[in-house]
Structure 1
Amino acid sequence: GEIIFFDCGEGTQRRMVEAHIGFRRRTKMFISHLHGDHVLGLPGLIQSMTLLQRDRPLHIYGPEGLAAFIQAFSSVLGGPGFTVKICEISSEGIVFQGSEYDVMAVEADHDGPSWSYVLAEHPRPGRFHPGKARALGVPEGPLWGRLQHGEDVELRDGRIVKSRDVVDAPRGGLKIVYSGDTRPTEGLLEAASGADVLIHEATFDDSLACKADENRHSTVTQAAEVAKEAGVGTLVLTHISSRYPDASVLLEEAVKVFPNTIIAEDLLELELPLDELQ
């Protein structure tokens, strides 16, 4: 499978080892901005990938200045020993289009060039009904696969079996939104509409709303209000200030506005169910 990173802070490669995530797998990174807590994992990770003889390209997307940053530490540390493809983002819109999903960048409100990201899966095929296919005389095998992918097929007797007769309507793909560091914005609110998961920064509690605004961050209640108004499935609060050794106080504030809220922590795993399993 493919690994998708949103930012790469210090300790990233250590957590990868603990999670048994290989350093040579297909990987894309989407960097929100060039503050140290979001990018200082890159030098060590790229060095480790080089030492482990990575041979696949590493694709990194991020704000203007990303290429210069990578070039700067590479000129001192050496490497990388594999291809690093860098895409610097200068405007909102789709930054990656793939066969299974797209990633869109949305301008964030933080210091310097900053981006939020939306990962949207393409619609998935509807549920295939083997019983209906058999009843219509379609033999099990390649024809079933073609029907599942929306293709009408011709049988040996000349009859045409339409995909819609044995396959339900397509299901919507998953949608995951990552805020990066930002004050609440209309652009992020619109982009998060209907998301399955919104990963939103919540640096401060509500008593520090003025400090949050000054530093271009969000409070926990502001993040929860975005989740509620956008109608997301789950809110994951992240980028919690170190002033909160116990983040439960933030969770208490958030659930008053948006009950389905959790606090991000290292090695947290979320299982995102599809509407219907085939």
Structure 2
Amino acid sequence: MSMRVTFLGTGGAVPTTERNPSSVLVNREGDRLLFDAGEGTQRQMMRFKTGFTISDIFVTHLHGDHVLGLPGLIQTLDFNDREEALSIYTPAGTEEDIDALVHAAANQPSFPVHIYGVGPDEAAVRRDDYEVRTFRTDHDTNSLGYALIEDDRKGRFDREKAEELGVPVGPKFSQLHEGDSVELDDGTSIDPEQVVGDPRPGRTVVYTGDTRPSAKVAEISEGADLLIHDATFADDRKDRAADTGHSTARQAGETASRADAARLALTHISSRYAGDVSDHLDEARETFDGEVFVPDDGETLDIPYPDE
């Protein structure tokens, strides 16, 4: 089952010609989930050919570089004759502000838009085999992060072992893999644990939005396949990061290290660093041994299962 992350906007509050404000799209087997919608997000979606069939938008907080793309995106969806309902999740208490953005410039969408206020430590979305959980972040406003967490998958079915035990090829294989015992023609009972391995972990992608270093982020990111973390500044602006509710690249690396994440994406890069992110990479790598990168706008990343 495929999972692809597209970095639509990787810049900080001030956009540059190379980096749009914050937005990340996750395509999980056709479920397109958008995290934040900075100014110009709809154009980025066209530019990088992600399609507009998003089902859910997850807002981390109400600073402009994370939400000013909503009015344009909603109107673009309307112009494309969308009919399906769109769900927007936002920190509890900010629903009216999001509603105002949705209806900016007297816009009245022709499709249903449902706005849900969510608090920390909730399942904002629960689907058949994954959920999107919220967690508190340490910014200077009402803010949340989001973690897409897949359920464990079934263990591997040992066909060879099943045949050795006398299970005939056919429906009984499926019954065992679904967790049901089967009875053979001679009356022997075969239990699933005899032919099915231990459950296999799903994938986890964590998106922090803007945040200072936080133990909560490290906790929910434990073993994450991808941690997308605020790294607005390098060490040269460490004090500025603390004052404004952001992290440095080194601090993001420390968080990823505590979480034992597999990969770390450094985002929300301040415009003061222009095209040179070498310090970000060097400083994060001093504290984190996993894969570290600063994605460019439009960069895509396929997320494999941990056992692949």
Give the alignment's TM-score, normalised by structure 1.
0.90
Note the 1:22-101 alignment, pairs <5 A: 22-25=51-54, 27-73=55-101, 74=103, 76-101=105-130
**Bigger CA drift: 131-140 or 166-175?**
131-140
Unaligned ranges ≥5, structure 2 = 1-29
1:155–1:49: structure 2 CA closer, same or farther, 3 Å change rule?
A: farther
Give the secondary-structure state (helix, strand or coil) at the position aligned to 1:251. Answer: helix
Q: CA deviation at 1:46?
A: 1.4
Q: Which structure 1 residue ranges, 5 or more long, are not aligned?
A: none
Equivalent in 175, 178, 183 of residue 207 of structure 2 = 178
* Structure 2: distance between partners of 1:140 and 1:46: 52
**Structure 1 segment 1-278 matched on structure 2, within 5 A:** 1-25=30-54, 27-73=55-101, 74=103, 76-155=105-184, 158-245=187-274, 246-259=276-289, 260-276=291-307
Per the alignment, residue 7 of structure 2 pairs with: none
* 1:250 alignment partner AA: H
Q: Cα 1:18–1:149, aligned 2, differ >3 Å: closer, same or farther?
A: farther
Q: 1:158 to 1:41 in 2, by over 3 A?
A: farther
CA contact (8 A) 2:32 2:53 kept: no
Q: Percent identity?
A: 43
> In the TM superposition, what is the alpha-carbon distance from 1:66 to its structure 2 partner?
4.0
Contact 2:203–2:306 under 8 Å retained in 1: no
Which has the larger displacement, 202-211 or 267-276? 267-276
Q: C-alpha separation between the residues in 2 aligned to 1:144 and 1:16?
A: 43
The RMSD of aligned alpha carbons is 2.0
Structure 1 match to 2:19: none
Shift of 1:204: 0.7
Question: CA 1:156–1:266 in structure 2 vs 1: closer, same or farther (change >3 Å)?
Answer: farther
Letter in 2 for 1:116: G
The TM-score with structure 2 as length reference comes to 0.82
Paired with 2:271 and 2:256, the residues of 1 have a C-alpha distance of: 23
Number of paired residues? 276
Counterpart of 1:126 in 2: which secondary structure? coil
Deviation at 1:142, TM superposition (A): 3.8
One-letter amino acid of the structure 2 residue matched with residue 273 of structure 1: P
Matched-pair contact (CA < 8 Å) for 1:127–1:276: no
Q: CA deviation at 1:139?
A: 4.1
1:249 is aligned with what amino acid? D
**Cα shift at 1:53:** 2.0
Larger displacement relative to structure 2 (12-21 or 240-249) = 12-21
Of structures 1 and 2, the one scoring higher in RCO (CA 8 A, sep 6+) is 2
